[in-house]
Amino acid sequence: METIRIEGLRKTYKIYQKQEGLRASFRGLFRRRYRVVEAVRGIDLSVDQGEFVAFLGPNGAGKTTTLKLLSGVISPSSGSARVLGHVPWRRENAYRRRFALVMGQKNQLWWDLPAQESFRLHQQIYRIEPAAFVARRDELVDLLEVGKLLGQPVRELSLGERMKMELIAALLHSPEVLFLDEPTIGLDVVAQHNIQNFLSYYQKLKKITILLTSHYMKDVIALCKRVVIVTDGVIVHDGSLKEIIDRFSTHKVITLQFADHGLPHDINRFGEVIEEQAPRLKIRVAKQTVTDSLAAILQLHPVEDVSVEDPPLEQVIAEIFTSVKQESDSTGKRAISKI
């Protein structure tokens, strides 16, 4: 069943460009110069119930803006969207009780109060029955192992502990849709792993729909089967992680273990050397020449071991972002200056 449906969604901002100097500032009172930024440019997207979808893109790609539109924080310039049958920016109470938004760089908990006090406030806001509230709170507290921290002021918690409390607050009213914006930003490896394990388990347990933005590919690999890549406010890929490699990667990585301790001097003609540690060597080879290059190397040099791998996912996605940015910079379509 379809949970999220987006058609032609656009969001445009008009930003005042203040000029330097007193004279220019005075002139700006009468004749202002604005820059029109298209944060989201005609997105079409459908997400089914129970999907865990990664929403990836570089800074400024429109990810957070899209989540804000879907959560009703802002209204679009044009286009339509429905989440659980509701138009988000109408801000109906019935819709507010069915979704949650967690932003890794913003807090929803009272800074100077213990998290348990903020949980009680959420109970009143969402009108959660006392018995249901206690049961959900205790379940989430046990899953995230933060029982000893409930009475401690939020400001005294570590970043990872605060994020766990943020997730508890967001899930107390049992939302059917969860929007996560950089939930593991700034966390150490252990804290990231703990959050990933919790989200994976909880999503499978409750069958909720989750839309995740993250710059950590380990989050995506651990949690999501479907990946949507957005750059410059438009979707450039919607599919599996494997499809990203197949569609966008232009090369393979060949690792060679040579029989002798020396390294061949002619290896550069087969590909770009990216790691050299005798007698081990890694070269980057264009996809279409992998078979021929490997056959030639094996014929010319004694090799004890060989492996052929796809490039790291982070590298492929970074290349996508870079190529789209270069194209955008050359065409000038990202931002339009107007008077």
pLDDT digits (tens, 9 = 90+) for 195-227: 999 999 999 999 999 999 988 888 999 999 999
Among 28-32, 112-116, 271-275, which is the least confidently predicted range? 28-32
Token pair of 125 as six digits = 């806001």
pLDDT band at 337 (very low <50, low <70, confident <90, very high): very low
Q: Give the pLDDT confidence of 39-58 residue by residue, as tens digits.
A: 899 999 999 999 999 999 88
- CB-side neighbour CA atoms (13 Å) of 336: 7
Question: What 3-state class would DSSP assign to 23?
Answer: helix
pLDDT for residue 174 is more than 90: yes
pLDDT at 14 over 90: no
pLDDT at 336: 34
Mean pLDDT of 137-144: 96
Residues 6 or more apart in contact with residue 54 via CB below 8 angstroms:
212, 213, 214, 219, 220, 223, 224, 226, 227, 228
Can the peptide bond before residue 58 be classed as cis, meaning omega within 30 degrees of 0? no
Structural domains in the chain, CATH included, are 2-98+175-245 (3.40.50.300), 250-309 (3.30.70.1150)
Instruction: List all residues 6 or more positions away from 106 whose beta carbon is below 8 Å from its beta carbon.
Output: none
In the structure, what pLDDT confidence band is assigned to residue 16 with cuts at 50, 70 and 90? Answer: confident
User: Where do we find the tokens 């540690």?
Assistant: 277
- Under the banding of pLDDT at 50, 70 and 90, the label for residue 333 is low
Q: Report the percent of the chain where pLDDT is more than 70.
A: 94
Tell me if residue 29 falls in helix, strand or coil: coil
Beta partners for residue 282, in sequence order: 255, 275
Q: Is 199 left (phi over 0), alpha (psi -120 to 50) or beta?
A: alpha
- b/e for 65-85, b at 16 or more Cβ within 10 A? bbbbbbbbeeebeebebbbbe
Q: What is the pLDDT of residue 334?
A: 47
pLDDT(338) > 70: no
pLDDT-based confidence at residue 151 (cuts at 50, 70, 90)? very high
Question: Distance between CA atoms of 44 and 57, rounded to whole angstroms?
Answer: 16
| Cβ 215 vs Cβ 181: under 8 Å | no
Distance CA 187, CA 81 (A): 32
pLDDT value of residue 331:
58
Phi, psi of 205 (to 5 degrees): -70, -45
Q: Is the pLDDT of residue 185 over 90?
A: no
Q: pLDDT by residue (tens digit) across 88-112? A: 999 999 999 999 999 877 788 998 9
State residue 22's pLDDT score.
75
pLDDT of res. 324: 67
Which pLDDT score, from 0 to 100, does residue 332 have?
A: 55
Inter-CA distances, 37 with 34, 77, 109, Å: 10, 12, 32
Q: Tell me the range of 26-35, 202-211, 272-281, 301-310 where mean pLDDT is highest.
A: 202-211
Answer yes or no: is pLDDT of 81 > 60: yes
**pLDDT for the residue numbered 113:** 93
Distance between CA atoms of 313 and 221, rounded to whole angstroms? Answer: 9
Q: Where are the beta strands (DSSP E) in 191-268?
A: 209-213, 226-231, 234-240, 251-258
The type of residue at 277 is Q
Under DSSP, the state recorded for 148 is: G
Residue with more model confidence, 85 or 339: 85
- In terms of pLDDT, which residue wins out, 17 or 336? 17
- How confident is the model at residue 224, as a pLDDT? 93
Q: For residue 36, report the phi and psi dihedrals to the nearest 5 degrees.
A: -95, 120
